[in-house]
């Protein structure tokens, strides 16, 4: 049997409601040279009967039915080991890949052999929430965004199979709910990432999404990921600073001068550390830090920054004056704070 160009992995758990749409969106791809590996992780609904029906109809489907629930990272690792394709593509049980998705990603990966993981932009469907996710497209910008949040939409990724295996880049089976972000955090310094700057997947929002249902577990689980991503900056930081980083990353802003002030100090500290070790191009990381600073600033002073003032950044003189003013106010309220 010849090796397919792509192995598509779809993990499934109690997915009967949207499963046909997801599977069909792969079967009608303009690129037909693929195998579709469907991993049924102990579903108790009608998923098994639906998938058995598909398996009988299309020889490209490799159906693995696990009688007990193993968890997403475990079944994905099983899929990676099973896959025969040059590339491994991810897909979720409730999303919809656009018809040209595989063709466009394969063509791009063939033209960019230096990149091992390629994602894409997504359109949000299934709720009143509109819009989508337009993640950074180049590796350095993705790395900068990863310091705060996941910058690769998991169900859009296409991975170079040999690179993932040769560099032992499998999912950590103890990191349920954050398995993708955790894997990317380990992979960042070993391989190159990219995102295509176009929508190739429709991502369904509903109450059973991992990011909705297990949001608190994700936030708690992100702490060791932040540590791993910050450590190459070779700076010392306190438990309080890491907790502040986590608040900034998850947009858990406080509308206080104290939060504004300490956020400024923390973001500036990251920038200074990067200037010393040159982990990332200065302009790219500072642009990422500026975007977080602006959001915090607008939360504390919602009337003072109009949409036309987005050029203000963490190192702009106007903001330095505001920070000094905020610092003096803090000193008046809490004299123990160093006012220099």
pLDDT band with cut points at 50, 70 and 90 for residue 131: confident
Query: Could you tell me the pTM of the whole model?
Result: 0.89
Instruction: Give the residue with greater pLDDT, 287 vs 158.
Output: 158
Q: pLDDT tens for residues 297-326?
A: 888 877 655 443 434 455 554 456 556 665
Tokens of 74: 């475990």
Strand partners, 133: 122
* Ramachandran sector of residue 263 (left: φ over 0; alpha: ψ -120 to 50; beta: rest): alpha
pLDDT for 310:
39
Average confidence (pLDDT) over 136-148: 98
Dihedral sign from CA coordinates of 268, 273, 279, 283: positive
pLDDT for 308:
39
pLDDT for 303:
67
Average confidence (pLDDT) over 170-175: 92
Q: pLDDT tens for residues 210-262?
A: 545 555 676 667 899 999 999 999 999 999 999 999 999 999 999 988 898 89
Q: Estimate to the nearest angstrom the gap between the alpha carbon of 225 and the chain centroid.
A: 12
Q: What are phi and psi of 310, to 5 degrees?
A: -70, -5
Q: pLDDT tens for residues 16-25?
A: 999 999 999 9
């Amino acid at each position: 049997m010849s090796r397919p160009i792509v192995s598509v992995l779809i993990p499934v758990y109690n997915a009967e409601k949207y499963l046909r749409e997801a599977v069909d969106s792969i079967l009608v791809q303009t690129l037909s040279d693929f195998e579709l590996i469907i991993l049924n992780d102990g579903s108790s609904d009608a998923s098994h009967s639906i998938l058995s029906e598909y398996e009988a109809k299309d020889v490209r489907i490799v159906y693995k039915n696990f009688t007990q629930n193993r968890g997403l990272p475990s079944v994905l690792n099983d899929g990676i080991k099973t896959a025969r394709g040059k590339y491994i593509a991810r897909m979720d049980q409730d999303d919809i890949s656009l018809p040209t998705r595989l063709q466009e990603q394969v063509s791009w990966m063939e033209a960019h052999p230096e990149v091992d993981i390629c994602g894409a932009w997504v359109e949000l469907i299934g709720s009143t929430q509109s819009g989508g996710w337009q993640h950074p497209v180049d590796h350095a910008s993705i790395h900068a965004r990863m310091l705060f949040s996941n910058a690769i939409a998991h169900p859009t990724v296409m991975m170079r199979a040999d690179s993932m295996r040769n560099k032992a880049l499998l999912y950590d089976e103890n990191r349920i709910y954050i398995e993708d972000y955790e894997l990317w955090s380990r992979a960042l310094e070993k391989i190159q990432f990219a995102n295509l700057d176009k929508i190739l997947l429709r991502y369904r929002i509903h109450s059973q999404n991992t990011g909705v249902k297990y949001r608190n577990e994700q936030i708690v689980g992100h702490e060791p990921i932040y540590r791993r991503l910050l450590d190459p900056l070779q700076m010392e930081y306190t438990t309080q600073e890491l907790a502040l980083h986590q608040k900034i990353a998850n947009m858990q802003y406080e509308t206080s001068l104290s939060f504004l002030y300490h956020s400024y100090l923390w973001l500036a500290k990251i920038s200074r550390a990067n200037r010393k070790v040159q982990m990332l191009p200065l302009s790219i990381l500072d642009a990422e830090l500026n975007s977080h600073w602006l959001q915090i600033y607008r939360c504390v002073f919602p009337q003072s920054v109009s949409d036309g003032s987005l050029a203000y950044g963490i190192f702009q003189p106007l903001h330095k004056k505001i920070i000094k003013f905020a610092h003096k106010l803090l000193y008046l309220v809490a004299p123990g704070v160093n006012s220099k």
